[in-house]
Chains A and B, each alone.
Chain A
Amino acid sequence: MSNQATMSSGGTGDKQKSAMVMSQREKVFSITFRMTIIVIAIIFALFPVVFVVASAINPEGTLSTRSLIPNVDDPSELLNNFRALLVDELEIYPFWNWILNSFVVASVTTVLGVMITALSAYSFSRFRFKGRRSLLLGILLIQVFPNLLAMVSLFIILSQVSRLAVIIPQAMPFLSFIDWNWLNFFGLNSAGGLILVYLGGVMGINTWLMKGFFDSVPRDIDESAMVDGATHAQTYWLLIFPLIRPILAVVAVLSFIGTFNEFVLARVLLRDRESWTLMVGLFNFINADFNRDWGKFAAGALVAAVPVVVVYLALQDQIVGGLTQGAVKG
């Protein structure tokens, strides 16, 4: 009834007039109105980003700094925080260690996780077997169990693994010719242990999504291959896998970013400063002395976030496609 612009439409209109036909004046008004909203939204969206960038390049480096534009004599001072973080103060903040840890954890989890999930999803998509539905449902339910609170058990499991390097030679002296210390890599406080924990949950997250992709590949392809004498393994690796590779790449990117950004589990399981991932490191040095290290935190945040943002923006169309099929983040 009203002539006001509403959320739904573009612009004004009344009963008589079709929405498809609008006068020039109304069109201009509508566009102006929308652009105003868009500008407000962009300010809301980007304000914190601008604030982080301003903090990162401000050599004063405290939270209490009020001006967004740093006051420096020498432009090279703009990089003070980055220099401190990446070059000068490595013994206080082992920043490169954190970057390396994050990359190792995220890439190994992604590669293994995608393989494991793709195999399961292929099976769910191509075979009909007893218990298939319950298994799919089980995987779905496991996913919603608050993993965070299984932490006590995870902690105990990983600390038991950490003891194995000592226990195995004790319990089985005939095996002591092997150096079992490599097992520590899968224990507490190490990237391997964290990767194991992530991989444990990986099936729950992506199997459904991937099964959808496999379902979209016509079955005639595998059937004709089978007729030609190919085994399931051959069909999978030589035919299906290349077909879904593009979508696997998107899942891999999402999984990489998700793991890279994860901090709740990592914070509990990684105790030593050197073993932290980037997110744990950033969180902790903010917690330690919030005000003092603000500039360095902002610099670190930029270093960590910029690659992720760039990847997202570059692949946004593919990622949006993946999102609407199954929520990965959000």
Chain B
Amino acid sequence: MVTTTNTARSPQGDLAVSNTNGLMKIIGIVLKYGGLMLLDGFALILIYGFFYDGAGGLAVTIALITIMANVFVLVPSLYPLKWMTPGLMLASLLVIYPIILTVQTAFTNYGDGNLFVKERVVDIIKARGYVPDSATTYKWVPFQLNDSEYALWLVDDAGQTLFVLPGEAPVVIDRNTLGYSEASSRYLFDPNTAELFDTQTGTNYSDVQVYFDGTSYGLWVFKDNGRNVLYAFPNMPIAETVFFQGRNLPRLAEGLEITYPQGETIPSSIGAFTRVENIAEQAEALSSLSLGVEDGDQLTIGNPDSIVPSLTGFTRIEDWNALAGINSLEYPRPLGDVLFQPIDLSARFIYDPQQALVNDQQSTGAGIDAYFDVTVYSNGSEYALWMIQLGSTEPNRALLALPNQPIQTLTLKDNRGNISPELNTLNIVLRDLTSGLPESIGDFKRTSSLPDESLVLGNETGLLKVGQISDSDRFVVDLEQRIAIDRVYGFTFNAIEFYAKDGDPNTIAIWLGNGNNPKRAGSAQFAAYIGIPNEITLVNNPSRVRPTGFIPSTYDGYTQLISESERTAGISFLQTVSFDYFGTEGDTLGVKDTSTVGRPYILRYQYDEATQTFTDLADNNKQYVADDVCDIPEGAIGPVCGFFTSAQGDSLSPGYRVNVGTYNFTRFVTEPALRGPMLDIFIWTVVFAALSVLTTFTVGLFMALILNDPAIPGRKLIRSLLIIPYTIPGVISILVWQGMLNQNLGFLTNLIFDITGTRIPWFADPVWAKVAIILVNLWLGYPYMMLISSGALQAIPSEVYEAAAVDGANPQQRFWRITLPLLLVTLGPLLIGSFVFNFNNYMLIAALTAGNPPIANSPVPAGYTDILISYTYRLAFGNSQGGADYGYAAAITIIIFVLVAIVTLIQYRYTKTWEQVGENV
């Protein structure tokens, strides 16, 4: 081998200069400097951009990399490195920089709860506000202009109404300008019948309890089948609260503690007030009752019969004969067209054969699940209907209507995805689950003939009748029965009034009150609407959070978010911008709880830079001091530091990053809780890697030896077939094995069960899970070993064997004394490489067992089949248990790196490859 010292030679050093070469040189120089300038310019933009964004480390890295690139290209003596510039740049940014960051992280407490640097955490906590007890609180309803512009409609306890836009002072709304005048008192109580009437919804409540403390009265009203309670006591606003049969309501307010008799939900006393058993006797005294607050919700004595809303400029129509000849009335959204049609309340479902649709008139949803995709079945004389929910691509449920049987909802699949046993009992044969369509339902077969209008299915629990469905007839009024229905939300209204405009009797306004849908929960069970043609529709919001009074469906160009889906979208947007987005600086809104906001919203924590202390203004000026020193309490998981902590030991969240020294490296020694899983996992990792190499190499070598004989017919084909496992993408193979070994459904598990009668718990039992991993890895890995072994076998010269044969060596001796040692010399590095690969074989563990079964009582998430890298991955990227701990994960990463690096170095130190580097080839 010639060892020429061919030192780097710059291109300028070349002697031959011809005309073409001159031109080439100029082009080369232009390319070189032009390219460098472009690169440097772009790098400058990136560096400034990253600095501007607070990513200083990244900016410095890019700067260093750029300088490196420039030096490599411009300094002639570094000419060889110029060739590597693109590779080195990429490797520096995406391999070396992450490694440096990882090393740095290993010495910190970086993880969930301590994600940010201290300055950032101080800023976060400083920005926090709170709503003081003295603040005004409001119930709110969201309004929307477009996808990103929202407004809030606020009503406080006194009934004052505000409309709030981002960055603007709230606008006070006079509700009387909305077109109707409210009754001076919202609630009317009739002592003779002991009923309470809500004039704004038209709802009458009959379950009223009266309480008396010797001088004054209080009322307790059950609403919504006992889910909610409305209460009115002296000197406080009339309010509603969630009741849930008394589970959550120990008191109404300070001094109004509730006493429930054993096993009952009606309170026997509320504070000093005791229950009045016979209300009729107190009717005289109650006739002067007045509760509530001025300008807000008030409760007075009155008779509901005569009380209906009065609309400004409209007169109530007493005689409905004046409405004769009208088919429909038109109002702004969401009332839309209100049709005058007879309503058949006994028919819960209307079937429209033309459109193959069924409408559930008591639907609880946003309209979409009111419609079903209908298929008709017949047994010759009778019909049955099978309906799939519209809008569900993979049907899970179907509605079945049979003659004289209750109309029922059926589940098509159980939670494992098998056909539900429910269907078998009804003798329903499903063709496949994708379409969800039955082949037959009992003796009913699919038919294309349509039933006529006389079809009635179902029984007294709900009928299905034939009718017409159109999109526009959401609201229908039946003048005969004096009822109306909302077909989208399934409300039935039975308080209805019409109003004629003064001077224009053809303009008719409508009031739909006491809308009730017993299937809906909470206050969403009730709704009321006022419609004024060409002007406005007012909604008494049928949502869970209902502020006092009617709210316009549109205001100032903004649209009220009424349907569940609209509200969900709106609320999630509002939560992302937070409420201090609304209102002017210094006078913003703050969240109090899910249904109320408060004003003003003021900063909660005062920070003292010198002592590094936060003072909590909302909690008696409690002091929180920065805790930068890490002490490790006995039995704790992780260091307790990097938080602002009070004298009582509680701390403010989030914490910040601090240096913890070598703590992360010594944790599995110092913390007994971590020592257990760590030791097990380490041992299993080594065993797994060693066993994998041993099994794959043994099988691979064995097959290579067998195939090495030219006498075997079709060697090439056999080899091709045997390496197929190696050629299939690893993830796919692992997932297929996971499927075949599935404990309940797996093909292989079942096959073994059929033969031996034992159901092997492949993934539930620690030992079997490990067996499964080794087995699958054997399947994945033996072809590689077979390939490299057969290559190496062919490289062994046949003279060696001939000489051995002459010396009388038998085949066994030949294998153990000649073949194997020679193979190990050649394949040794590759076997070590395979060990290293399996040591970090994250993909196999993640895709096959995900580390499971879990180790019980482990303080950090760990499983019996976790190897170091999958355990570390869990620590770093966390899950519910414990959260991410990047610091600890980084420390383990470095330990893995050192172990693997040592093995690799040893491998290359003693192999040819190393010699090639050593010598000048």
Binding site for B on A (CB under 8 A): 1-2, 6-11, 13-15, 18-20, 27, 31, 34-35, 37-38, 41-42, 44-46, 48-49, 51-52, 55, 59-60, 62-64, 66, 84, 89, 92, 115-117, 119-120, 122-123, 125-129, 132-133, 136-137, 139-142, 144-154, 156-157, 160, 163-164, 167-168, 170-172, 175, 196-197, 199-204, 207-208, 212, 215, 219, 226, 228-229, 231-233, 260-261, 263-264, 268, 279, 282-283, 286, 289-292, 294, 297-298, 301, 304-305, 308-309, 312-313, 316, 320-321, 323-324, 327, 329-330
Contacts and interface: CB of A to CB of B under 8 A. Distances in A.
Contacts of B105: 152
Given A8-B816, A260-B729, A330-B834, 10 more contacts: A6-B812, A19-B814, A51-B736, A126-B6, A127-B8, A127-B79, A148-B869, A200-B90, A203-B88, A232-B11
Contacts of A89: 393
Nearest to A193: B94
B731 A279 contact: yes
Nearest to A89: B393
B842 interface: yes
B81 interface: yes
Max count, chain A CB within 10 A of own CB: residue among B78, B731, B784, B842 = B731
B90 A123 contact: no
Instruction: Classify the interface of chain B: helix, strand, loop or mixed.
Output: helix
Interface stretch (B205-213, B485-493, B896-904): B896-904
A8 B812 contact: yes
A324 to B, nearest CB: 5
Contacts of A133: 917-918
Given A283-B847, A320-B791, A327 B8 contact: no
Contacts of B779: 44-45, 48
A125 B14 CA distance: 20
Contact of A63 (B95, B720, B746, B830): B746
Contacts of B732: 279, 282, 301, 304-305
A46 B720 CA distance: 11
A153 B731 contact: no
Interface stretch (B187-195, B351-359, B555-563, B886-894): B886-894
A171 B719 CA distance: 61
Task: State which size class the interface on B falls in.
Answer: 35 or more
A311 to B, nearest CB: 8
A294 B506 CA distance: 64
Contacts of B917: 133, 136-137
Interface string B78-93: 1111111011101101
Contact of B739 (A63, A154, A196): A63
A44 to B, nearest CB: 7
Contacts of A289: 417
Contacts of B802: 20
B727 A313 contact: yes
Interface stretch (B141-149, B682-690, B803-811): B803-811
A229 B16 contact: yes
Contact of B913 (A11, A172, A208, A329): A208
A59 B15 CA distance: 73
A89 B394 CA distance: 11
11 contacts: A1-B812, A8-B816, A38-B718, A152-B101, A153-B97, A157-B97, A164-B49, A171-B49, A283-B731, A309-B728, A316-B720
Nearest to A312: B727
A203 to B, nearest CB: 4
B171 interface: no
Contacts, number: 360
B709 A2 contact: no
A139 B81 CA distance: 14
A324 B791 contact: yes
B869 A122 contact: no
Interface in B871-921: 872-873, 876-877, 886, 889-890, 893, 896-897, 900-901, 904-905, 908, 913, 916-918, 920-921
Interface string B830-869: 1001101100101100110000000000000000000001
B418 A64 contact: yes
A75 B877 CA distance: 47
Contacts of B329: none
Given A7-B815, A128-B6, A201-B94, A313 B720 contact: yes
B545 interface: no
Nearest to A52: B736
A309 B727 contact: yes
B116 interface: no
A117 to B, nearest CB: 7
B45 interface: yes
A138 B779 CA distance: 33
Contact of B45 (A156, A172, A327): A172
A230 to B, nearest CB: 8
Contacts of A44: 779
A175 to B, nearest CB: 7
Contacts of B81: 123, 129
B730 interface: yes
A252 to B, nearest CB: 16
Interface stretch (B337-345, B439-447, B512-520, B700-708): B700-708
A82 to B, nearest CB: 14
B722 A41 contact: yes
A136 to B, nearest CB: 6
Contacts of A290: 739, 742
Contact of A149 (B97, B745, B873): B873
Given A38-B712, A60-B432, A8 B815 contact: yes
Contacts of B736: 48, 51-52, 298, 301
A16 to B, nearest CB: 8
Given A149-B889, A308-B728, A128 B709 contact: no
B725 interface: yes
A2 B86 CA distance: 61
A-B pairs, 4 with minimum CB distance: A8-B815, A200-B94, A9-B811, A229-B16
B781 interface: yes
Given A15-B808, A146-B893, A160-B53, A123 B83 contact: yes
Contacts of A150: 95, 98-99, 101-102, 893
B15 A305 contact: no
